[in-house]
Amino acid sequence: MEITIDHIRNKLTTEIGAVHVEVEDTSPNRCAASFKVLVVSPQFEGKPLLHRHRMVNSCLAKELEVIHAFEQKTLTPEQWEKLKAQ
């Protein structure tokens, strides 16, 4: 399986109902071994951070088997709007 930025973005959008996703390949050679993501989803409403991260990890379970490093930030749409306003 080839893991690309678009693949990760599409999967998070489809499976978690993300309304905004930013994905960055942070591998030194851009070799798809390390990623940083920002995921904004209404499904995160009322859920603690650990549960949100588990949702993302479950969504990307197959991909995480071959990704060496994965950093994530998970926000509700309200939190995202507040962050953008700063």
What's the token pair of residue 6? 């678009």
For CA atoms 20, 40, 13, 22, the dihedral sign is positive
| pLDDT at res. 33 | 86
Domain boundaries, position 35: 5-85
**Domain holding 46: CATH number?**
3.30.300.90
Model pTM?
A: 0.92
Q: Which helix (H) or strand (E) holds 51?
A: helix 49-59
| pLDDT at res. 83 | 94
pLDDT tens profile 33-69: 899 999 999 999 999 999 999 999 999 999 999 999 9
Which residues touch 62 (CB under 8 Å, ≥6 apart)?
Answer: 1
Distance from C-alpha of 71 to C-alpha of 28, rounded to nearest angstrom: 15
**Residue 32 pLDDT exceeds 80:** no
